[in-house]
Amino acid sequence: MALIDDLKDAQKDAMRARDKVRLGTIRMAVAAIRQREIDEQITLDDAAVLAILTKMVKQRLDAASQYDAANRPELAETERAEIAVIESFLPQPLSDEELNTLIDDAMSQTGATGMQDMGKVMGLLKPNVQGRTDMGTLSAKIKARLNA
């Protein structure tokens, strides 16, 4: 089943359960997906939906840290509740060991030897790890390997 279908089913379940936070968060996610589909006049696949959900998590993490800095814990808690809902639709995060194995495989497939090959390695890995790891962390790990 497609991820968008999972979201729509969860939206119906949240309506039945009268779970306002979950319902509101899922509606925002579905709206963001529909908006992109309308803007680009395409039907998004699961990888594109994962990218949108990952972006939503990152936005909420940034907002929560800003609310914490502004001494607004109630707003930060709302953002964290939304993060929990969105993350329930994301695949399980990769462990460091799994990530290192994927990086090793990608480097051997592309024949990467230096920083000039960074784009090749990232391009190969991105579809496989989207939504399962932070891209900044992935980039840092690849840079460390290529500079070693």
Domain hosting residue 124, numbered range:
96-147
Q: What is the pLDDT of residue 3?
A: 87
Domain identity same for 70 and 115 = no
Q: What is the pLDDT of residue 9?
A: 95
Domain identity same for 52 and 13 = yes
- Tens-digit pLDDT profile for residues 35-53: 999 999 999 888 889 889 9
Whichever domain contains 116, its CATH number is: 1.10.10.410
Domain identity same for 12 and 59 = yes
- Mean pLDDT confidence for 109-124: 84
- Mean pLDDT confidence for 2-17: 93
Domain identity same for 15 and 77 = yes
Domain identity same for 83 and 107 = no
Domain identity same for 31 and 80 = yes
How is residue 45 written in tokens? 């696949």
Domain identity same for 102 and 67 = no
Residue ending a domain, choose from 68, 87, 106? 87
Domain identity same for 12 and 81 = yes
- Mean pLDDT confidence for 63-76: 96
Q: What is the pLDDT of residue 52?
A: 92
28, pLDDT greater than 90: yes
Whichever domain contains 66, its CATH number is: 1.10.1510.10
Q: How many CB atoms lie within 10 A of CB 125?
A: 24
- Mean pLDDT confidence for 79-86: 95
Q: What is the pLDDT of residue 122?
A: 87
Number of domains in the chain: 2
Domain identity same for 29 and 60 = yes
Domain identity same for 50 and 111 = no
Residue-wise DSSP of 50-110: HHHHHHHHHHHHHHHHHHHHTT-HHHHHHHHHHHHHHHTTSPPPPPHHHHHHHHHHHHHHH
Q: Structure pTM? A: 0.75
Residue ending a domain, choose from 70, 87, 104? 87
